[in-house]
Amino acid sequence: MAETATIRVDRDVRDQLALVAEQNGISLAGLLRRYAREQMLESERAARRLADASSEAIAEQDDWDSTVGDGIT
């Protein structure tokens, strides 16, 4: 069995999470595990989108640099 820890939350937050867990047929711990995993995946996707956008911006800047330096006015 995994080692456990206590997380302090307001009772109403705990009750809301417990309701969502019950509606999904999983334990509260399972719900928190799922949320944590989803947040990690979303963070990774956001980092990839940012890296892709940065790569596109660099490529566009390179295009402009070559256009400016082509000698055509």
Residue among 2, 34, 28, 30 at smallest CA distance from 16: 28
pTM: 0.62
Other residues' Cβ atoms within 10 Å of the Cβ of residue 65: 10
Model confidence at 64, in pLDDT bands (50, 70, 90)?
confident
Query: Is 15 among the domain residues?
Result: yes
Q: Using 50, 70 and 90 to split pLDDT, how confident is the model at 69?
A: low
Residue 16, domain member (yes or no): yes
Domain assignment present for residue 35? The answer is yes
52 in a structural domain = yes
Per-residue pLDDT, 13: 97
Question: pLDDT tens-digit profile of 5-62?
Answer: 999 999 999 999 999 999 999 999 999 999 999 999 999 988 888 887 777 777 777 7
Length of the chain: 73
Is 69 inside a domain boundary? no
How many domains does the chain fold into?
A: 1
**Could you tell me if residue 4 is inside a domain?**
no
User: So what's the pLDDT on residue 48?
Assistant: 85
DSSP assignments along 26-59, one per residue: S-HHHHHHHHHHHHHHHHHHHHHHHHHHHHHHHH
The boundaries of the domain holding residue 43 are 11-63
Greatest Cα pair distance, the chain, in angstroms, is 72
